[in-house]
Amino acid sequence: MLIARHNQILEIARLAGKVTVEDLAARFEVTPQTIRKDLNELCESHLLERVHGGAILASGVENVAYEARRIIAAKQKAAIGREAAALIPNGASLFINIGTTTEAVAQALLRHTGLMVITNNINVANVMRSSAGVELVVAGGVVRHTDGGIVGEAAVDFIRQFKVDFAIIGTSAIDADGALLDYDFREVKVAQAIIANARHVVLVSDATKFDRAAPVRIARIDQIDTFVTDHCPVDAVRRICADVGVKLIEAMPPEPAAEGE
């Protein structure tokens, strides 16, 4: 389970690219042994990779453990969830796919009524199953033990039976050229089927996804309609959204700089 210091270490690593045991011990006023333990735990969650004297950001070939992903940017994900849920009217039909941010949207939708929700995310199903205002439909397929995602050709075929009003999709990484990326090609095929069978596609993703890399392309930003994030720090992505008509919603935009700063 990540602790507050772990999140701060990750933020330093994102900004600097590398952290050292010596610098972190001095910054947090703890022993080097404590920092080594922190780094080992972060490496076990695939958030960092150990190097001599410290650690660097993990390479983009394997996703972060699901419970760790839940905690990363949790406040931001909750804000994104509320903004995305506000886009969905009562009585709508929608897909919700795999991810901790899409799970936050599901949580924010619990007060809606008359929804039909189709999901390949067991965690979303658990969030929504007791809501009287939701008709819940769960896709069939292979259940991925790491995160409760339902993937594979059976899930793709199931999704293709529907044409819904909205799709809520997540992504593991966003490239500066507007590519939406993930780690598992089986999950990507389901996400592509979801995009193809929704009238309005809403991408939900926190800003940490701009710092990550993943090997499999889901889609391009111009294939979605609305992008909800906490804030978008990449000017190139802002320009792409403006150029192709994607509505960009920032749930937690940074404070404008004071005059003279």
Its sign, for the CA torsion 63, 81, 14, 37, is negative
Sketch the domain layout of the chain as residue ranges: 4-58, 73-250
Q: What is the mean pLDDT of residues 16-37?
A: 91
Q: Judge whether 4-58 and 73-250 match in fold.
A: no
Confidence check: pLDDT of 163 > 90: yes
Residue 243: count of CB within 10 angstroms of its CB? 11
Fold of 73-250: Rossmann fold (3.40.50)
Using left for φ > 0, alpha for ψ between -120 and 50, and beta otherwise, residue 209 falls in alpha
- 190-239: per-residue pLDDT in tens? 999 999 999 999 999 999 888 788 899 999 999 999 999 999 999 999 99
Confidence check: pLDDT of 71 > 70: no
Q: What is the mean pLDDT of residues 89-102?
A: 96
The single-letter DSSP state of residue 149 is B
- Give the separation between CA 85 and CA 108, rounded to whole angstroms: 6
Report the pLDDT value the prediction gives residue 186, as an integer from 0 to 100. Answer: 86
Confidence check: pLDDT of 28 > 70: yes
**pTM reported for the whole predicted model:** 0.77
Task: Give yes or no for a contact between 55 and 42, defined as CB atoms under 8 angstroms apart.
Answer: yes
Determine the length of the chain: 261
Task: Give yes or no for a contact between 227 and 203, defined as CB atoms under 8 angstroms apart.
Answer: yes
Task: Give yes or no for a contact between 182 and 220, defined as CB atoms under 8 angstroms apart.
Answer: no
Report the pLDDT value the prediction gives residue 66, as an integer from 0 to 100. Answer: 61
Q: Which residues, other chains included, contact 213 with Cβ-Cβ below 8 Å and sequence gap of 6+?
A: 59, 60, 173, 175, 181
Report the pLDDT value the prediction gives residue 259, as an integer from 0 to 100. Answer: 56
CATH class for the domain made up of 4-58 = mainly alpha
Its sign, for the CA torsion 157, 223, 225, 104, is positive
Report the pLDDT value the prediction gives residue 22, as an integer from 0 to 100. Answer: 92
Lowest mean pLDDT across 3-7, 77-81, 187-191, 200-204: 3-7
Confidence check: pLDDT of 52 > 60: yes
Task: Give yes or no for a contact between 207 and 171, defined as CB atoms under 8 angstroms apart.
Answer: no
Report the pLDDT value the prediction gives residue 143, as an integer from 0 to 100. Answer: 92
Report the pLDDT value the prediction gives residue 212, as an integer from 0 to 100. Answer: 81
